[in-house]
Each structure stands twice: as C-alpha cells, then as structure tokens.
Amino acid sequence: MIIQCTKKMLDALKIKEPLCKERENLNNELEYWHCNLVKYGKENAVILTHDKTLFSFFLIGLRVEDFKNFDEVISQFIFKILFNLEFEQKKAELVLESLENISYAKSSNKSVLASMNQMKKDIDYGLLLDDEDIFTINYSINNRIYGMINYDKPIDRFHNFLDSLL
C-alpha cells in the first residue's frame, strides 16, 4: 500500500524524505490511498481515502505513540471497520493483504484531497451529535454521494472495485 500523505501527516509520522513513487503498477489500484491528519480540539484524527473509489477510514483519538507504529494501528483499525461494515471475508482479506507492505509518499491528487475536505465537514457534523460513534461516522462518510465519483457512494464503488479484483 502506498499512502500519499499531506505535509501535516508526514510531520506527524516524522518522515522527512517520503518515497516519491510514480504509479508504476496501474493494474493494482488498491495500493493507492491518501491520508490526512486533522485535529478535533486536542485529539488527533486521520482520514485514509482510497484514490479511485473515495472509500475512507476515519480514526480519532490517536496519541503521539500511535504514529510511531502507525502501520499496526491502521491495520487493526481497518480490520475492525471492515468487519463492522460487514465486508465479505475475501474482500477484507484483499485490503488487509495490501497493508502488509506500506510505504509513504507525498500527496498527489488534489481532487481526492478536496473530497477528503468535504468528508471532514461531514465528520464535523457527525461528531457534534452525541450518539455518533466511530463506526457510525465511518458508515456515514462512505454512504454519501460524491461528485468526483460520478455522484456515487464510496462504499458501492469500493465493493464493485473489490469484486473486479476477485
């Protein structure tokens, strides 16, 4: 998996020289994600978004120590979200396999970053509601319609994309 990070995210991960990797393997679009660090008061949160489908994971409550072993933290969280969203085992395994080799690069797609900013606004609203938990927020952002993916829902796009890989 190649996680293309914003400057704030690279700073949090303490990565000075990120990998500047071109998309050399266009057959495996599952590998390309964008990641942004956002703050909610004193709490750190991360939005991790698949480039092609805009399917996203939102994780809040990260501590400084979590950024030292970020690969493990996001792997565990992604597993929990996929399980909670009732992904078929084969699809979840595809995503988890891509997490075995993570590398970091600079962000490269302004359209994905703009969509992530829209998601942040949706998340802001969800966090204002007392009954919104992390799983509900992840469900919500992936079931909204986004213009970048032809007015479709990221969860539908991601399921179809994973089906095409099986």
CATH number reported for the structural domain that contains residue 135 in this entry: 3.30.420
pLDDT digits (tens, 9 = 90+) for 50-70: 999 999 999 998 999 999 999
Residues in the chain: 166
Per the structure, the complete domain to which residue 80 belongs is given by: 2-161
pLDDT at 9 over 60: yes
pTM of the model: 0.91
Identify the CA nearest to 71 among candidates 1, 151, 135, 150: 1
- Give a yes or no: residue 71 inside a domain: yes
Between strands 43-50 and 32-40, the pairing is antiparallel
pLDDT digits (tens, 9 = 90+) for 94-132: 999 999 989 999 998 999 999 999 999 888 876 666 556
Both tokens of 71, joined, read: 């690969």
- Give a yes or no: residue 89 inside a domain: yes
Q: What is the pLDDT of residue 80?
A: 94
- Give a yes or no: residue 166 inside a domain: no
pLDDT digits (tens, 9 = 90+) for 21-38: 555 554 588 999 999 999
- Give a yes or no: residue 116 inside a domain: yes
**Total domain count for the chain?**
1
What gap in Å lies between CA 28 and CA 17, rounded to an integer? 24
